[in-house]
């Protein structure tokens, strides 16, 4: 049933794509900001309390609703899961952004590519040079595919019903708003949410990196994972980016000019620096990864029926 539920959600996303950000992402963001406004005392204890309250406020109703749906009929529970997946997964948004940026670069319009990348990142990219735009778009594509699709699918398999589909992005949003995106001197409140997300993401990161290796260049992906991931600006993010770059056989990272200054970034991957052709290859890599995930869901469904 989980495979049918996932396919139904993907078909619905294709037929009726949400406008802008996924609806549940926006809801989680508002909820995190509201929780922080009420409970942020600037220390770790208040951060622990806020995270516990946030998770309880969301997961308890979701768990009760799932139990109620399951008591009515399995189809009702599947429909609930499909709705939550529809409001959470970002796979088609990721490939749409990649395709639009690749087309703009191929047509010789780096300005349009940079604007689309800025819309995707939610901030102006450090450079609008075509090569830099392609590398940044490829990095964001790998990052967004992991956080917005593959890690969520992992937790959908591991936790019952829609709990994993809710818990992972909710914790990611809290970690970003309370820990990553704030001044380092004010991160005590978000410390626990950040560590909770690291725990939730530890296994999915490695699963995603291994999936990229399977559907891409296996040896280069593993080599880059082992030798380059720890050198990246965010080592936990470097696992996915290094493996993806190696699987594609291109170079990501590298220094990028911001005006007259140079932003120093480690090299990820092998081969030539990523250009617009790498974005098309990345789309193919992500689709092959999704097919492998669907195969895994099929195997789980077959085992559950045996």
User: Could you report the per-residue pLDDT of 250-269, keeping only the tens digit for each?
Assistant: 999 888 877 677 888 899 99
**Residue keyed to tokens 């399951």:** 70
Q: What is the pLDDT of residues 88-128, one digit of tens each?
A: 999 999 999 999 999 999 998 989 999 999 989 888 887 77
Confidence at residue 166, expressed as pLDDT on a 0 to 100 scale? 96
Which residues, including other chains, have CB under 8 Å from residue 169's CB and lie 6 or more apart?
Answer: 24, 25, 28, 88, 147, 152
Q: Is 12 helix (H, G, I), strand (E, B) or coil?
A: helix
Contact in structure between 297 and 157 (CB atoms under 8 Å): yes
| % of the chain surpassing 70 pLDDT | 97
* pLDDT bracket for residue 239 (50, 70, 90): very high
248 has a pLDDT exceeding 80:
yes
pLDDT at 21 > cutoff 80: no
Q: Are 104 and 242 in contact (CB under 8 A)?
A: no
Question: Which DSSP letter does residue 274 get?
Answer: P
Is the Cβ–Cβ distance between 111 and 128 less than 8 Å? yes
pLDDT reported for residue 261: 74
pLDDT at 306: 61
Q: What gap in Å lies between CA 204 and CA 206, rounded to an integer? A: 5
Nearest-CA neighbor of 172 among 212, 143, 140, 131? 143
Q: What does the pLDDT read at residue 129?
A: 86
pLDDT value of residue 24? 86
Cα–Cα distance between 2 and 19 in angstroms, integer?
Answer: 26
pLDDT for 275: 85
When the pLDDT of each residue in the chain is averaged and rounded to a whole number, the result is 91
CA distance 106 to 251: 19
Q: What confidence category does residue 245 fall into, taking pLDDT thresholds of 50, 70 and 90?
A: very high
**Confidence band of 185 (pLDDT split at 50, 70, 90):** low
């Amino acid at each position: 049933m989980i495979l049918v539920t996932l396919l139904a959600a993907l078909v619905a996303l294709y037929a009726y794509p949400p406008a802008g950000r996924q609806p549940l992402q926006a809801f989680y963001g508002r909820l995190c900001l509201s929780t922080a406004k009420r409970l942020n005392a600037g220390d770790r204890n208040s951060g622990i309390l806020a995270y516990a309250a946030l998770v309880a406020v969301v997961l308890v109703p979701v768990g009760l609703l799932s139990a109620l749906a399951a008591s009515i009929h399995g189809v009702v529970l599947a429909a609930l899961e499909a709705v939550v997946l529809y409001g959470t997964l970002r796979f088609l948004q990721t490939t749409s952004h990649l395709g639009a940026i690749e087309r703009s670069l191929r047509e010789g319009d780096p300005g349009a590519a940079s604007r689309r990348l800025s819309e995707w990142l939610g901030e102006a990219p450090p450079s609008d040079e075509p090569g830099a735009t392609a590398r940044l778009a490829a990095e964001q594509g790998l990052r967004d595919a992991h956080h917005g699709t593959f890690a969520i699918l992992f937790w959908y398999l591991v936790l019952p019903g829609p709990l994993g589909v809710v818990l992972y992005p909710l914790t990611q949003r809290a970690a970003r708003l309370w820990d990553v995106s704030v001044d380092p001197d004010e991160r005590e409140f978000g410390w626990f949410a950040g560590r909770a997300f690291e725990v939730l993401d530890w296994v999915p990161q490695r699963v995603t990196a291994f999936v990229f290796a399977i559907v891409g260049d296996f040896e280069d992906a593993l080599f880059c994972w082992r030798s380059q991931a720890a050198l990246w600006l965010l080592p936990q993010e470097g696992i996915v980016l290094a493996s993806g770059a190696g699987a594609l056989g291109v170079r990501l990272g590298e220094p990028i000019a911001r005006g007259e200054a140079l932003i120093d970034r480690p090299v990820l991957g092998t081969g030539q620096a990523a250009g617009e052709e790498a974005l098309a290859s990345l789309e193919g890599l992500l689709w092959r990864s999704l097919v492998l995930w669907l195969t895994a869901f099929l195997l789980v469904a077959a085992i559950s029926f045996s």
